[in-house]
């Protein structure tokens, strides 16, 4: 999920779909109906953390503080 959030935020079109990955999530969801919500929340937080650092690095490069 985190990669999906990052791809959406960065405009990257994902090209890989993994049937086994999706099947595993279906099994998890059958056993715990709230698992997907916890995972999505954590993935969103992780993506936000990474994007914040990415934006800071871009700003630093633009400001001349870091060589590209």
- Whole-number average pLDDT of the chain: 86
Reduced DSSP (H G I as helix, E B as strand, rest coil) percent helix, strand, coil of the chain, to 5: 75, 0, 25
> Phi then psi for 37, rounded to 5 degrees?
-70, -40
Q: Is the model's pLDDT at 42 over the cut of 60?
A: yes
Residue 64 has pLDDT above 80, yes or no: no
CA-to-CA distance for 58 and 63, rounded, in angstroms?
Answer: 9
The pLDDT of residue 67: 57
What's the whole-model pTM score? 0.65
**Cα–Cα distance measured from residue 44 to residue 9, given in angstroms and rounded to the nearest whole number:** 11
Q: Residue 25 to residues 20, 43, 49, 65: CA-CA distances in angstroms?
A: 9, 14, 24, 43
Provide mean pLDDT across the span 33-45. Answer: 93
Q: Which residue has the higher pLDDT, 15 or 13?
A: 13
């Amino acid at each position: 999920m985190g990669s999906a959030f990052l791809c959406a935020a960065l405009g990257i079109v994902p090209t890989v779909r993994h049937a086994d990955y999706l099947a595993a999530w279906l099994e998890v969801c059958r056993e715990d109906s709230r698992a997907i919500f916890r995972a999505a929340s954590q993935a969103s937080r992780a993506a936000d953390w990474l994007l914040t650092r990415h934006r800071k690095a871009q700003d630093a490069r633009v400001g001349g503080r870091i060589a590209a």
